[in-house]
Amino acid sequence: MMKNFTYHAPQTITAALMLLDQALARSEDTYILAGGTVLVPQIKESLVRPSLVISLKHLPMLKKITLDEKGLHLGALITPVELIRSPVILEHYPVLAQAAATMAGVQIRNMATIEGNLCSAVPTADLVPSLLAPDAIVQVQGPNGLRPARRVADRTRACHKRKLSPLSFGPSRGYAGH
Ligand SMILES: Cc1cc2nc3c(=O)[nH]c(=O)nc-3n(C[C@H](O)[C@H](O)[C@H](O)COP(=O)(O)OP(=O)(O)OC[C@H]3O[C@@H](n4cnc5c(N)ncnc54)[C@H](O)[C@@H]3O)c2cc1C
């Protein structure tokens, strides 16, 4: 049977990080909910049994795609459909749109996120190769502030071992190439 858990959907990154910090102090089994395409079925099937779930759905600041002199910045909550439809991506990083278009069906492409794809860290994650190819880097923010930027290649390994979870909160920005 599915275990009851506490659910929060904070409205600011600061509030989300405070919740993470408090959960750490209480040693709670905490999961971040991005698009939920992996986590929700896992909870329903009792494959994971969190005591606390922190949803990022009210953090629109993590949904931005911008291009500047450093490269392309992708918010953690960008979905495959947003990659496919972004004029900036289509013009400058079409490989990302091509990878996103290969993912699942339209429902999943509308809900899934880059962050969830990276943090699931399964060998079949379709967006990861298109981030590895231009040696993209990930900026992670935790309760103790911004962590040093890391290459996607390194972060993917770490996520697979769940070293970053539940303390990580990203990628808040990713630069795909320079
Ligand atoms: C029917 C179906 C088909 C699919 N097909 C494909 C496919 O073709 N290609 C593919 O690549 N994937 C596929 N997936 C897997 C999934 O949809 C993708 O990996 C998606 O990108 C996950 O993103 P999400 O936002 O939904 O992740 P979530 O479900 O929200 O999160 C996934 C995991 O990452 C953890 N997490 C999220 N954010 C953080 C954070 N900041 N810190 C620490 N941990 C975090 C969550 O706690 C959870 O454990 C499929 C899934 C389903 C159900």
Domains of the chain with CATH codes: 6-55 (3.30.43), 62-175 (3.30.465.10)
| Whether residue 138 has its Cβ less than 6 Å from ligand 1 | no
| Whether residue 130 has its Cβ less than 6 Å from ligand 1 | no
Q: Which atom of ligand 1 is nearest to the CA of 122?
A: 19
- In this predicted model, what pLDDT tens digit does every residue of 56-97 receive, in sequence order? 999 999 999 999 888 899 999 999 999 999 999 999 999 999
Q: Closest Cα to atom 18, ligand 1: which residue?
A: 117
User: Alpha helices of 74-169 — where are they, by DSSP H?
Assistant: 80-85, 87-92, 94-101, 106-111, 114-120, 128-132, 152-160
Q: What is the pLDDT of residue 120?
A: 83
| Whether residue 169 has its Cβ less than 6 Å from ligand 1 | yes
Burial readout 90-119 (b: 16 or more C-beta within 10 A, e: otherwise): eeebeebbebbeebeeeeebebbbbbbbbb
| Whether residue 23 has its Cβ less than 6 Å from ligand 1 | no
Strand partners, 173: 139
The rounded Å distance from CA 142 to ligand 1 centre is 20
- What pairing do the DSSP bridges indicate for beta strands 145-146 and 141-142? antiparallel
Number of neighbouring beta carbons within 10 Å of residue 28:
17
Share of the chain above pLDDT 90, in %: 52
Number of neighbouring beta carbons within 10 Å of residue 85:
12
CB-neighbour burial class of residue 129 (10 A; exposed 0-12, middle 13-18, buried 19+): exposed
Query: Is residue 174's pLDDT more than 60?
Result: no
The rounded Å distance from CA 31 to ligand 1 centre is 12
